[in-house]
Amino acid sequence: MKSYIARRLPPRFIRRCMSSLRPNFGHWRSVADRRKADINFTLAGGWLFVGPIRKITMSTLHGHGVELVEARLRVGAFSPHRHDTYTIAMTTAGVQSFNYRGNGWRSLPGQAIILHPDEVHDGYCCDTSGFSYRAAYLPPAHVQTVIGGAALPFLAKGVSTDTDLVGSALRLITMCAAGNNHFGYQDALHELVSAMQRCEGGPAARRTANREAVMRVREFLDSVPSPGTNLDQLEEIAGYGRWQLSRDFRSLLGTSPYRYLQFRRLERARQLLRSGLGMAAAAHEAGFADQSHFGRVFRRTFGTTPMAWHRPEQPRTIIL
């Protein structure tokens, strides 16, 4: 993950960069003309930041084309700009303010920011304490793999407190940060798009789930396959589209294929630990990438570490 930080750049250099990057900077050129300018800027998906900044870190999810941005800002503002992607963001600390579709919005931790492609917006600190946020720039083409040619979901409000939408946005950003978890990314994408469609208010088509196909997929997942399992394989086993399979699977079993697989691997690892196998060997046999990966998933699921769970109960003295 690379960091892009600029501090106290010469005004002449700033003017030259800005004139080459955008045809009309107007206000920002006047800012750059100040003799003692303290201006930091970075470009990511087309936006320009002007003002003191602590740190901006950027990374791109390999193989998916999803850009992940993490930033911590004290003061300053993003100029009005737009992206050709969805902006899926979450404020992690402080209060983030921005203008979107003619209204001013404020985002707090625990809320989701969902901005539609090609919609102008900005961003700024509303106080001196600043804010931190994480954002994933989701290409519409990825969304289309879920909705199959239907109209892209559109949320008129810039900020949402919907529990499902907030949870799915956080999960997508987390999967983007993981980078190499393709199955998890596909599952998180489906979950997010489904939540966006529900919040948009579109009618949900009801149909009978394909029980036989779901049972075939479940049997495959019960075998604890390799970490390379993905929706392409499950689609082939089921015999029909991956996204409809995910809906059917959730309808019949109450969870997604990805999460079902995670539970099966965790249960397999616990069985191996009970049998006396070491932590690293159990993680490998259960299909986890390594012991560290196993520990993170275990703690996120059960709220404790594998070591604490497996620690034998200490003998106790009971006084009657």
pLDDT of residue 192: 94
Supply 97's token pair. 């303010």
pLDDT of residue 23: 41
pLDDT of residue 15: 53
Question: Per-residue pLDDT tens for 69-120?
Answer: 888 877 667 778 777 789 999 999 988 889 998 889 999 999 999 998 878 8
pLDDT of residue 62: 42
- pLDDT tens digits, the chain, 320 residues: what are they? 444 443 445 555 555 544 444 443 333 333 333 322 233 333 333 344 444 444 444 444 444 678 888 888 776 677 787 777 899 999 999 888 899 988 899 999 999 999 988 788 888 888 878 888 899 988 888 888 888 767 788 888 889 999 999 999 999 998 888 777 788 888 899 999 999 988 887 544 445 778 888 889 988 988 866 667 888 888 888 888 888 888 888 767 767 888 888 888 888 888 888 888 888 998 888 888 888 888 888 887 776 788 877 765 443 333 32
Supply 22's token pair. 């955008």
> pTM score, two decimals?
0.59
Q: How many residues does the chain have?
A: 320
Give the span between the Cα atoms of 86 and 160, in whole angstroms: 15
Average pLDDT, the chain: 74
Burial class of residue 145, CB neighbours in 10 A (0-12, 13-18, 19+): middle
pLDDT of residue 33: 35
Supply 248's token pair. 């059917």
Q: Exposed e or buried b for every residue in 203-216, given b needs 16+ CB within 10 A?
A: eeeeeebbeebbee
pLDDT of residue 254: 61
Provide the 3-class DSSP secondary structure of residue 285.
Answer: helix
| Residue 127 CA to its chain's centroid (Å) | 27
- Structural domains for the chain: 55-200 (2.60.120.10), 212-310 (1.10.10.60)
Supply 107's token pair. 């985002």
pLDDT of residue 16: 54
pLDDT of residue 193: 93
